[in-house]
Structure 1
Amino acid sequence: MSNIESLEDFYQKKFNYLPVGLQQEIGHFNVFRLEDCVGPNAKPVKYSRKDFYKVSLVRTKGIYHYADKSVAIEGTTLIFFNPQVPYIWESLSENQTGYFCIFSKSFFTEKIRGGLNDLPMYKFDGKPAYELNQEQEQQASEVFEKMLSEIESDYAFKYDLLRNYVMELTHFALKSQPSTNLYQHTDAKSRITAVFTELLERQFPIETPSQRFTMRSAKDFATQLAMHVNHLNRAIKETTGKTTTDVIAERLIIEAKTLLRHTDWNIAEIGYCLGFEEPAHFNNFFKKQTQFTPSKFRIAS
């Protein structure tokens, strides 16, 4: 897996320049028309995690590869790219139009309740893509056009306004989905499960062979949460229908598949960074979960 793409990398690859004040304290924001950044002269994009957020409105046909998932996109779609999860956009059409904006986490620091990663589209298991009908496309396009106009203005508070435009797109997407799709903490067990999930996700993605997944058992998480392991296990089982061990194993398999598909690390390195001391233990675990050995899965992928 390649290193995390920084804002500097993005500008150098797309435009061969760095904007003035890129690292200013208020954080960074910019907005573009998609057609200005694609075409025969565009540089290929590698599958990687970015260190910035991105919101795109795309009018095209393609496939959005997100962690170990692939989602087919056709028509007009609003997509929210999470800097915590490796992704790549694979276009299946030469005709690509639309918009996208990029911004650093610090651009929203202390500006929204709970932080960006609490929003459903930025959660690991959230829904990042929202198909738009003609009326919705018009509304979203108008927001991006306002961004393009505002970014060129000399209005003293334009970045506050641009923040509002990003949140307008965010709530526009959320409101287009039934409220039942939004995760809500209905009771104590749900809260325990949410905190457990947060602790689990903090350990990913694995980006270097020296990085290690360390909290591998229900007991590890229970200790961190200062509760009895049986209490944790009951909460996870009642809210997800799965055992704590199964939830951890499923997340490990997602990361293992991602690393096997998108890195050139050897099997022993991947097993070690996922917490397996011996390659044989990783091989046995992977085969039990997928019916394939890691090497056969890599070849098949």
Structure 2
Amino acid sequence: MTDTDGTLAWLLDTDPSLRWQVERDLAGAPPSVWQATRARVATEGNGARLLREQGDDGQWEGGAYFPAGFFDSPEARAPGQPWTATTWTLKDLREWGLDAAVLGDTAERLRRNSRWEYDDLPYWDGEIDVCINSYTLATGAWLGVDVSGLARWFRDHQLTDGGWNCEAEEGRSTRGSFHSTLNALRGMLAWEQITDDTALRESRHRGEEYLLSRRLAFRASTGEPVGDFVTEFVYPNRHRYSVLAALDHFRAAALLEGVAPDPRLAQAVDMVRNGRSADGTWHQGTPLAGRVWFDIDVARGEPSPWLTMIALRVLRWWDAAVPA
């Protein structure tokens, strides 16, 4: 990537959790360079800050998905939710490239001490929410836990249209959801990347077809846009869908399998390209409400290093494979 407008230099002047991905995916740095930067996630910046917050029981804020005592606190009546408990913190650390070995016996401590807020279920068994289970599947694989039973859950709970929906387990829906389906796909892909087990690939492909048949942004029934959220880019996106987050998944899946981009991604790619601001960056949308350990990215409306990196690597992948 040439740096005619200084964007690459700006992206490289960031936290190690972002910088190593810029070096690998945009700057063309050799593995020795980006791997050295990635190792710094454990000792510097955002990664080190989150590691310092871990409790002796292996958890963050004493809870699996919510901080301990959350539902009895005034915070439970505030917009959004806290993003500081164990599941969210581990998701960030994993996605930032932390070496799982740094967490030592965390997996065992969670097995002993952490239970889901839903029905007091054991942490590594997951629960009934597909998004929660997707994070647990990926994190369990990363920390070396045998989560093959949880992996099978995704095949068993895939809906007839190929998608997943967090409301399906409560009987409130029989149709897939863009948000839930993408979360399921990302968890399944992470599990396959880490374990080299392709048992979920057929199911994952069915879920990807759910999104591809809708061109990542449109209703199957009417062809109308599914909602404004598809082009509301925000980092961290937590559980929220956007065409940018979906394209980043399809990029990773295609690279894993060594296949070309699906042509049905073209409209979503144009949506990402059109989201670029005059300054050459992508700007932060409205961050999800709720308490955080600290601000990972910029405020609403400001140039976002994280969104810019993700968008540029998606476009670089697409443009390299699809003739203009």
Q: TM bucket by the smaller chain?
A: under 0.3
Higher Rg of the two aligned structures: 1
Normalised by the length of structure 1, the TM-score is 0.26
Normalised by the length of structure 2, the TM-score is 0.24
